[in-house]
Structure 1
Amino acid sequence: MSTPPSSRLSSLRVLKHHDFALLWGGAALSNIGTWMEVLALGVYVTKVTGRAEWTGGVAALTFLPAIVLAPLGGALGDRFDRRRAVGVGALVQLVLAGVLAALAFTGGLTVRWVAVISFLNGCAVTLFTPAYSALIAVSVPKEDLHSALSLNAAQNNLGRICGPALGALVIAHADVAWALLINTLSFGAVLLSLTRVRATAAGKPADFGGLWAGILQGFRVALADEALVVALGGTLAIAVCIAPFTALAPVMAIQVFQLDAGATSVLVTAQGVGSLVAALGAGALADRMGKARLLEVGLLLIGPTAAAYWLSPSLPVAAVAVMALGALYMLTLTGLSALCLARVSTELQARIASLSTMLLFVGFTVGVWVQGALGDRWGIRWVTASAALGFFVLAVLRRALRSRGFAAFEV
C-alpha cells in the first residue's frame, strides 16, 4: 500500500505555523554561514598544527562551557522572554564572528585566537540554545513537535550541505577571511526573523523563584522520570562515542586520505545530505514505524555505520558511509530530544532541553578530545571505529535489558 502524500510530507506541514516558519528560515540562512566558518577554521587549524588532537581540541572548546553553563541557560530560558534571549545570543555570536573575520583580514588570526573565540562562542551557544529549543516547542502544537524538531534538524543540515561547499569555494578563490565575514553577516537573518515572531510564541516567563531553585527543579524532574533518564543517558553515549565524527572530518580528509579542503567539504556535505533526507522523511517514518521503533532501529544501526565510515578505504566510500551516518545521527538525536520536550510542561522545557544540551556538549567535548589525542598515537581510524563499536555494544545491552523507560519513547 502506498503512503498517502500527507504522510510522506508530514515533516513539512509544520511550516504552516507562522512563528516556526520564521524561526526556521532565519536559522537556515544563519547556519549556512556557521558551517562555512566550521569548515574554514577546521582546515586552518589542521593545516597550521598538523595534529588531530588540536583540530578536535579547538572544536571541543565550543562545547566545553556546557559543563557549567547549560543548566543556567535552561533556567534563564524558562524565566525570561525566549524571543529576546535568542536575539541576544545571535547578537553576541555576530560580534564574535566579526572579531574572527577582522583578525583574519588583518593577518592576526592564530590558533590561540581561534581557541579563545571558539570558547566564548560556546558560552553564548550554551546560554541561549535552550531558549531557542523552547521557542521552537511553543511555536507548534504538541502533536507536531517531532516533525518540528526533525525539520529544525533539516535546516541545520541544509547549512551543513551548502555551507562547506560555499566555504571551500570561497577559500579556494579568496581566503579564509571571506568565509568568516560571510558567517558574520548571516546572523542578521536570525535577528530579522525574530522581529516578526509573534509575542505569544515567545513563551510566558515562569515564576519559579531564584535561578538556583529553577536549576535544581529541572534536575529533580529529570531524575524522577525513568524515560528522561534513559533518553538523556542515550544522548550522552552518542555524544562520547559517535558525535566526534562531525568535528574530525578535516582529519579524515587531510591526514587519512591525504587530500585537501575540497575533500573535507565532500565529507561534511555528504553528512548533511544524509541528515537532510532523513529529517524530511522522519515524520513519515515515525507515522509508519512508530517513534519508539524508529528510535530503537537508529540506536542499533548508528554504531556499526560509524565504524564503517572510519574504516572506509577511499573518499567515495567514506562519503556514502557518512551520508548514512548523518541520517542515523539526526534520527536518533531528534527522537531523544522529542521525548525530553514532550514529557514535561511548557514551563520546564528550556531546563530539560538544557540538560540534553549539556550532556551532548560535555560528551562531545570528552569524546572528540580523547579520540583525537588517542588517534594521534594509535591511529585515528582504529580509535574512532572502536568507540563506535563500543556504542553498539551499549545499544545491544540496553535492548536486552528492555528498560521500562524505553517504552515511553512512543510520545
Structure 2
Amino acid sequence: MSGRARPSALAPFRIRNYRFQWPSDLLTSWAFEMETIVLGWYVLAETGSVLLLTLFASLNYTGTLIAPLFGVIGDRLGHRDLLGIMRASYAVLAGTLMTLALTGHLTPSYVLIISAIMGLVRPSDLGVRGALVANIMPPDQLISSISVSRTTMDIARIAGALSGAGLLAAAGVGPAYIVIVSLYVVSTWLTFCIVMSAKRHLVDEAAGGMPRRSPLRDLSEGVEHVWTSPRMRAAVWIAFLTNLTAYPFSNGLLPYIAREIYGASQAALGYLSASFAIGSLIGSVILSLIGGVRVGRLMIGATVMWYVALLMFAQIQSVPAAVACLMLAGVSQSMSMITIAVVLMRTAGEHFRGRVMGVRMLAIYSLPLGLMAAGSLIDEVGFIATATLYVAAGLALLMAITLHWRADLWHVHAPANAK
C-alpha cells in the first residue's frame, strides 16, 4: 500500500531516551501539581485571604524573566544536564518544606519564601524539557512526541490534584510532602539516565578555535531569532495573552473558587483541578493520533474555544456543571499550547531551540500579573464580573493578533499551516 502510515501515540517510545524523559517529566509535573494543591489550600485556610493566595500562585513564576538565560545555559551546558540540576533543586526545596511541616514549624511566611525561591527555577522546566524533546526526537515525529510529552502534565494534574487533595485531607501537609520529595528524587534520577549524542560535543570541538561568546550575546541572538520570524512572534504573543487572561481561572484561583464560590471541601478542589487535566489529556491524545492538521489555524481556533469554555464556567453555580466546563477548557487549552510549541520548534534553528523556548517562557510572566490583578478585581466587583472581563479582553486581543498576522497564521498556504 502507498498510503501514509497512521500516526501512533506510542511511536515516540521507540526512542530509548524518550522512554526515560517521559516518566521523568510525569513525576516532576505530578509533584508540581501536588504542591500547588497542598500549599494553595494551606495558605488560604491559614490566612483566609484571596490576595495572599494569588500572591502564592504568582511566586511560582518569579523566574519567568530569567527563563531566556536558562535557555542560553541549556544550549551551552546541555539540556539534559540543566534539567537534572533543576530537578535536584526542587527536591532540596521540597525537602525543606517537608522538614518544617513534620516538625511543626511551617508557617505561611515560610511557604511564600520557599515558593519564591523555587519560582526562580520552576517556570523554565517546561521550556527546557521541550528543547530536550526536540533534540532527542526525529523531526518527523515532532508533533506526536510533543503531544505525548504534554500528556505528562495532563496525567500529573489528574493524579496530583486527587492525590494531593486526598493526602492533605487524610494526613496533613507533612505526609503529603514525603510523597512530593520522593517524586522529585526519582524524576531527577530518570533525567540523568538520558544519554545525549556526541554531536553537540563534536560541534563545540570544531568551534574550539573561535573566541567564546558572552551569554548576553547568545541571549540577544535568541530574542532576535524569535522577533524576526512573524510566526514565532505571533505564537509568543498568544502564549502571553492566554497566561494573562485564561490561565488564572483554571490554575491559581481554583482553591478560592472551590472554597468561596461553591463552599466546597478539598475533595471538590481535586475534582475541579482533575477535570481540567482530564480534558487536557484528551486534547493531547487526540493531537498525538491525528496527522495533517493545519497548526496555525488550530492554534487560533483552540484558543477561541478555551475562552468560550471559561466564559461558561464563570456563569456556573454548581460543581458538576463546572467540572464539565473545565473539561472542555482543558481540551482547548492543550491543543492551543501544543500547537504553539510546534510552531516554535518547527521554525527555530536547531542551535536556537533552548533560547527560543526560554523566550517563550517569558510569556508566563503575564500569569502572575493576571493572578494579582484578578485577586484585586474579585474583591472589588466579584468573581463573575472579573472572569467575564478577562474573557472579553482575551478574545478581543486574540482577534487583533490573528488579523495582524493572518498571512502567517490563517491563510491555507501559510508556513504555519503546512501539513
Normalising by the residue count of structure 1, what TM-score does the alignment of the two structures yield?
0.93
CA deviations 1:354-390 (Å, max 9, x no partner) are 011111x211111111112211221122202220122
AA at the equivalent of 2:107: T
Note the C-alpha offset of 1:23: 0.3
AA at the equivalent of 2:330: G
Aligned-residue CA RMSD (Å):
2.0
Q: Aligned to 2:315, which of 311, 314, 317?
A: 311
What is the correspondence of 1:5-404 to structure 2 with a 5 Å cutoff? 7=6, 10-67=8-65, 69-126=66-123, 129-200=126-197, 204=201, 209-245=213-249, 246-285=251-290, 287=291, 289-359=293-363, 361-401=364-404, 403-404=406-407
Q: Secondary structure at the match of 1:200?
A: coil
Bigger shift: residues 211-220 or 148-157: 148-157
Match of 2:408 in 1: 405
Counterpart Cα distance in 1 of 2:124 and 2:340: 21
Preserved contact between residue 240 and residue 363 of structure 1 (Cα < 8 Å): yes
Normalising by the residue count of structure 2, what TM-score does the alignment of the two structures yield?
0.91
Preserved contact between residue 73 and residue 129 of structure 1 (Cα < 8 Å): no
Bigger shift: residues 182-191 or 233-242: 182-191
Q: Secondary structure at the match of 2:9?
A: coil
Cα 1:201–1:145, aligned 2, differ >3 Å: closer, same or farther?
farther
Q: Secondary structure at the match of 1:197?
A: coil
CA deviations 1:78-113 (Å, max 9, x no partner) are 111221111110111100000111111112111111
Q: Can you give the 5+ residue segments of structure 1 that lack an aligned partner in the other structure? A: none
Cα 1:336–1:201, aligned 2, differ >3 Å: closer, same or farther?
farther
Counterpart Cα distance in 2 of 1:331 and 1:127: 21
| Count of aligned residue pairs for this structure pair | 404
AA at the equivalent of 2:368: T
Counterpart Cα distance in 2 of 1:225 and 1:399: 15
Note the C-alpha offset of 1:129: 4.5
AA at the equivalent of 1:54: L
Preserved contact between residue 308 and residue 385 of structure 1 (Cα < 8 Å): no
Preserved contact between residue 244 and residue 364 of structure 1 (Cα < 8 Å): yes
Counterpart Cα distance in 1 of 2:226 and 2:31: 34
Counterpart Cα distance in 1 of 2:227 and 2:408: 12
Q: Secondary structure at the match of 1:199?
A: coil
Counterpart Cα distance in 2 of 1:54 and 1:344: 39
CA deviations 1:8-49 (Å, max 9, x no partner) are x53332122111121001221232232121110111111112
Counterpart Cα distance in 2 of 1:375 and 1:304: 20
Counterpart Cα distance in 2 of 1:175 and 1:134: 37
Cα 1:17–1:333, aligned 2, differ >3 Å: closer, same or farther?
same
Note the C-alpha offset of 1:155: 0.8
Bigger shift: residues 315-324 or 201-210: 201-210
AA at the equivalent of 1:109: L
Counterpart Cα distance in 1 of 2:147 and 2:200: 21
CA deviations 1:268-315 (Å, max 9, x no partner) are 000110011111111334x25432332221022111111111221210
Preserved contact between residue 73 and residue 126 of structure 1 (Cα < 8 Å): no
Note the C-alpha offset of 1:396: 3.0
Counterpart Cα distance in 1 of 2:172 and 2:84: 29
Counterpart Cα distance in 2 of 1:201 and 1:90: 23
Counterpart Cα distance in 2 of 1:302 and 1:51: 28
Preserved contact between residue 306 and residue 330 of structure 2 (Cα < 8 Å): no
Cα 1:202–1:372, aligned 2, differ >3 Å: closer, same or farther?
farther
Cα 1:121–1:281, aligned 2, differ >3 Å: closer, same or farther?
same
Counterpart Cα distance in 1 of 2:376 and 2:362: 22
Bigger shift: residues 261-270 or 118-127: 118-127
Preserved contact between residue 262 and residue 319 of structure 2 (Cα < 8 Å): yes
Bigger shift: residues 16-25 or 119-128: 119-128
Q: Can you give the 5+ residue segments of structure 2 that lack an aligned partner in the other structure? A: none
Counterpart Cα distance in 2 of 1:35 and 1:22: 20
Note the C-alpha offset of 1:399: 3.7
